[in-house]
Structures are given as structure tokens and as C-alpha cells.
């Protein structure tokens, strides 16, 4: 083939990827799909909203307060407040979530013992210790078993991250680009939510259509070989891309259609509007949504950050749970709140930390709600200072195995992969039977 024809062919290929700017690997990937094994287990959770507390939140300041541990452990946050469930208390900066405790359960005995961000993130989201094989995270597993090969017909991918990728590990693992999450980019709190690959700041619709027309005009090779299987595949890819840009997907990400008072209830900040966007994605049937909530790696200025961020978290999460319940969606939507670990129970008063908290993987908390999980319960316990697990240790694979089972995915079933590795979806996983 001549160089000119090669260039024209590349033009055709770029046309198929134009609108998605790298996201096509997730939506319409080049790799062959992996066909997972279906399960006959009951599906309780049709969608999952994972609130990923990037950096690791303090369990003592959120869902496992220790008011009697002394100032070296509580810092200035010396109080625990009652919830609407007897005998359950939460941190003093979470008054709104305190009134929703009947909707969620707290796991106070999460553990893996790792204090490094990358390794801990991988363990919590894959349920496995690192080795030579890179396994997919639970969102990618959901995309495999609940995605296009299983009848998903959504106009957006089955695994979405609001708004930035977690960045600590390869989410898709050995499953490949097709199962990588579609990260929206942008900020849902802005007047216009600029979703990467669907909208481009500063480029009008007319200009975008003009670009498409120009590409078609240059595509002489495609015109003389319209039946070529590769070109037909790229034509279909291009069609889907432009349907995203000018069709229903744009309306899906348009939060201006929501009532102003509801947007205020969620909080007019990036996290609050991400929670509202997640609810819209659930209504659209997206199986797995991650909200990557950054800002919790609080080595310094810990309590100043807590006083700023916890009220935002409290408002948005409480509204999300209430909104899902009012719309009849909470029973089929599983909400999971967790980071890669907790923070050191003892406050680091010494320089250079001056009142910070470090990494703590020995004992930390997670919250689960809806989708088959019962509300109003506490699983496990930490010791008097929140340093170690006192009762009922829960490992990441136990939590992930429970979530997968509620999604109708058998944790003990085979996990297909392109390398022919014989492995289970989540080997050795226990279950949170107390709250399932």
C-alpha cells in the first residue's frame, strides 16, 4: 500500500476515535470481548455507586469515633453524636448522615495492614495482594459481567468514573482497555459539565460537525472500499461516537435539567454534584459508577481539612441516600464508601506534621447501603483507640465478595481473561452475612 493510502486509512481510523479522545478503548475497544459466565444467583443490586475516598479517610473522625480516647487521639473533635438508630454513633461533623443511619451499615473492622497508597488501593479494589499478574478492580469485573456482552444497552459505558481516574493502579488489569472506566473529566458543578469525549470547551456543535464533514471529504480510500470490514467497523465506531456527542448522552450529563433546590440539597460543589450525577446514571441503568473523591491524604492540617470537607461529604451523601430512597432506587442501588485505608488514630502533633494523621491499614471503616445490604447495623469493632481490630475482622475480599454476590456475580465462579489464567472472580472471599 502506498504512503498516501496509509495516511488516508489513518484518517479513517482517527475519525472513529475523534469524539472520544481516548475513551474508545473503554466503549468500543479493539480487543475481542471476554464472555463471562452468568450466574443464577439472585440480583439485588442493579447498580453500584462507589464513593472512593482517595487518600484514605480518618475512621475516628467519621464512622468510628472514640470520644473517650483522649486528645492525642480525638484532637479537637472530641464528640460523638447519636444517630436515628439506637447505639450507633458517628463523628460530630456528620449530623445529616446521623439522621440516615437506618439506611446504611458501618463496617468498623476493615483491615489489610498495608500503609502504602498504591498497594492498599489495589488490595481494596481487587481483593488481592500484588503479584506478577495484574487483576482487574471490581468496577472492571462488573463491566465484564454486566456490560455489552450481557445485554447492557446504555448510551454510556457500563463503568464510569466521576471525574478523574483513581490513578493508583490499572483498573482494568488483565481484562484490557475495553474494561477500563470511562472517566468523565470536567466538573459537574460548573455551569456546563464538560464531559471528555462528549463536549469540548470552546468548540461549537457546528464546528464539530464541520470537522466530521472534512474528515469524510478526505476519506477517498473509504469511498472506494465501502465494503471493507475494517472500514465498516470504524464507521460503526464513528456513528456511536457522534451519537454520544449530539444525542441522549449529552442530555444525560446536563444537570441543568434538575431542580435548583435539589441541586442545593446535594451541595453546590464538585462532590455534591457528582453524587447527583451518579443518581442520574443509576436511573439510566449504568451498572458501576465510581466517584473519585480526592483530598483525604491529610498528613498536615488534618482537622482544618476535616472541618471543611466533612460537612460537604455529610450533605451530599445524606442527600444521595435520601434521594435514592424517595425514588424507590435504594433497594436496587448499592452504595459503598471507603478509602484504601484509614488514618493513624494517634494524632501526629510533632513537626513537620503539626496535627496531622498518617496512613493506617491495620484497622479502618467502610460504609455500605442499599442493594441488598441492611441498614442500621455495625459490623465488627476496633479497640478503644481505633488502632487494631477487636472483633470480626473484615478483609477487602470479604467486602468485595459480598458486593459481587448482591450484583448477581458469583465470586467463586471463573474469571475469564485473555491469558488463559485459571482463576476465580474473588477467591477466598467471605460474606457479610450479618447484613445481607
Q: Which helix (H) or strand (E) holds 380?
A: none
> pTM for the whole thing?
0.86
Is residue 73 assigned to a domain?
A: yes
* pLDDT on residue 149: 79
Residue 285 lies in a domain: yes
pLDDT in tens, 302-359: 999 999 999 999 999 999 999 999 999 999 999 999 999 999 999 999 999 999 999 9
Any alpha helices (H) in 247-370, and if so which ranges?
248-252, 260-266, 270-283, 302-326
Domain holding 413, by residue range, is 44-207+258-435
Residue 227 lies in a domain: no
Residue 80 and residue 225: Cα distance in Å, rounded?
71
Backbone angles phi, psi at 90, to 5 degrees: -130, 175
4-42 pLDDT per residue, tens:
333 334 343 343 333 343 343 434 444 456 655 555 468
- Residue 271: pLDDT band with limits 50, 70, 90: very high
In a domain, 240, yes or no: no
Q: Is the pLDDT of residue 94 over 60?
A: yes
Q: Report yes or no on 14 lying in a domain.
A: no
Name the pLDDT band for 241 (thresholds 50, 70, 90). low
Report the number of distinct structural domains present in the chain. 1
Q: What is the CATH number of the domain that holds 131?
A: 3.40.720
- Please choose, from the candidates 404, 421, 371, the residue with its C-alpha nearest in 3D space to the C-alpha of residue 133: 421
CA distances from 77 to 68, 90, 129, 285, 351 (A): 11, 11, 34, 40, 21
Residues 277 and 290: beta-carbon distance below 8 Å = no
- Quickly tell me which residue has 451498572 as its cell: 287
What b/e sequence results for 90-104 when a residue is b if at least 16 CB atoms lie within 10 Å of its CB, and e otherwise? bbbbbebbbbbbbbb
Angle separating helix axes 302-326 and 270-283, nearest 10 degrees: 30
Residue 201 lies in a domain: yes
Beta strands 359-360 and 342-343, pairing class: antiparallel
> CA 404 → CA 35, 229, 271, 272, distances in Å?
17, 37, 25, 26
Q: Report the distance separating Cα 179 and Cα 141, nearest Å.
A: 8
| Percent of the chain residues past pLDDT 70, beyond the cut | 80
**Is residue 241 situated within a structural domain?**
no
User: At residue 220, does pLDDT exceed 80?
Assistant: no
Strand positions, DSSP E, 123-261: 159-162, 182-183
Under 8 Å between Cβ of 331 and 370: yes
* CA–CA separation, 387 and 80 (whole Å): 18
Determine, yes or no, domain membership for 352.
yes
Those residues whose C-beta lies under 8 Å from the C-beta of residue 105, and which sit 6 or more positions away, are 367, 368, 369, 373, 374, 375, 376, 377, 378, 379, 435
Amino acid at each position: 500500500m502506498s504512503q498516501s493510502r496509509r495516511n488516508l486509512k489513518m484518517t479513517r481510523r482517527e475519525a472513529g476515535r475523534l469524539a472520544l479522545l481516548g475513551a474508545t478503548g473503554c466503549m468500543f475497544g479493539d480487543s475481542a470481548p471476554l464472555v463471562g459466565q452468568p450466574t443464577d444467583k439472585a440480583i439485588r443490586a442493579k447498580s453500584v455507586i462507589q464513593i472512593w475516598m482517595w487518600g484514605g479517610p480518618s475512621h475516628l473522625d467519621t464512622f468510628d469515633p472514640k470520644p473517650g480516647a483522649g486528645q492525642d487521639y480525638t484532637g479537637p473533635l472530641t464528640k460523638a453524636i447519636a444517630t436515628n438508630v439506637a447505639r450507633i454513633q458517628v463523628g460530630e461533623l456528620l449530623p445529616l448522615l446521623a439522621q440516615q443511619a437506618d439506611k446504611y451499615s458501618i463496617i468498623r473492622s476493615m483491615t489489610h495492614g498495608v500503609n502504602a497508597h498504591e498497594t492498599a488501593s489495589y488490595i481494596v479494589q481487587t481483593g488481592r495482594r500484588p503479584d506478577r499478574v495484574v487483576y482487574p478492580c471490581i468496577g472492571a469485573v462488573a463491566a465484564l459481567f454486566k456490560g455489552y456482552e450481557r445485554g447492557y444497552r446504555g448510551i454510556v459505558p457500563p463503568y464510569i468514573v466521576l471525574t478523574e481516574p483513581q490513578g493508583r493502579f490499572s483498573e482494568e488489569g488483565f481484562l484490557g482497555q475495553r474494561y477500563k472506566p470511562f472517566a468523565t473529566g470536567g466538573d459537574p458543578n460548573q455551569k456546563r459539565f464538560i464531559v471528555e469525549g462528549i463536549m469540548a470547551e470552546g468548540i461549537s456543535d457546528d464546528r464539530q460537525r464541520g470537522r466530521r464533514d472534512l474528515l469524510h471529504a478526505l476519506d477517498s480510500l473509504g469511498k472506494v472500499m465501502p465494503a471493507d470490514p475494517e472500514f465498516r467497523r470504524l464507521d460503526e465506531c464513528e456513528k456511536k461516537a457522534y451519537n454520544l456527542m449530539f444525542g441522549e448522552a449529552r442530555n444525560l450529563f446536563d444537570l441543568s435539567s434538575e431542580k435548583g433546590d435539589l441541586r442545593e440539597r446535594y451541595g453546590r460543589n464538585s462532590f455534591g454534584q457528582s453524587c447527583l450525577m451518579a443518581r442520574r446514571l443509576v436511573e439510566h441503568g449504568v451498572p458501576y459508577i465510581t466517584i473519585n473523591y480526592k483530598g483525604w491524604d491529610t498528613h498536615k492540617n488534618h482537622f482544618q481539612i476535616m472541618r471543611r470537607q466533612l460537612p460537604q461529604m455529610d450533605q451530599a451523601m445524606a442527600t444521595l441516600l435520601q434521594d435514592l430512597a424517595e425514588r424507590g432506587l435504594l433497594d436496587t442501588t448499592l452504595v459503598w464508601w471507603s478509602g484504601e485505608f484509614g488514618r493513624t488514630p494517634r494524632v501526629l502533633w510533632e513537626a513537620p506534621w503539626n496535627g496531622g494523621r498518617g496512613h493506617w491499614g491495620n484497622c479502618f471503616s467502610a460504609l455500605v447501603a442499599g442493594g441488598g445490604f441492611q441498614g442500621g447495623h455495625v459490623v465488627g469493632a476496633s479497640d478503644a483507640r481505633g488502632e487494631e481490630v477487636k472483633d470480626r475482622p473484615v478483609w477487602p475480599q470479604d467486602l468485595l465478595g459480598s458486593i459481587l454476590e448482591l450484583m448477581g456475580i458469583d465470586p467463586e465462579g471463573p474469571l475469564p481473561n485473555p491469558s488463559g489464567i485459571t482463576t476465580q472472580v474473588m477467591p477466598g472471599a467471605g460474606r457479610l452475612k450479618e447484613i445481607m
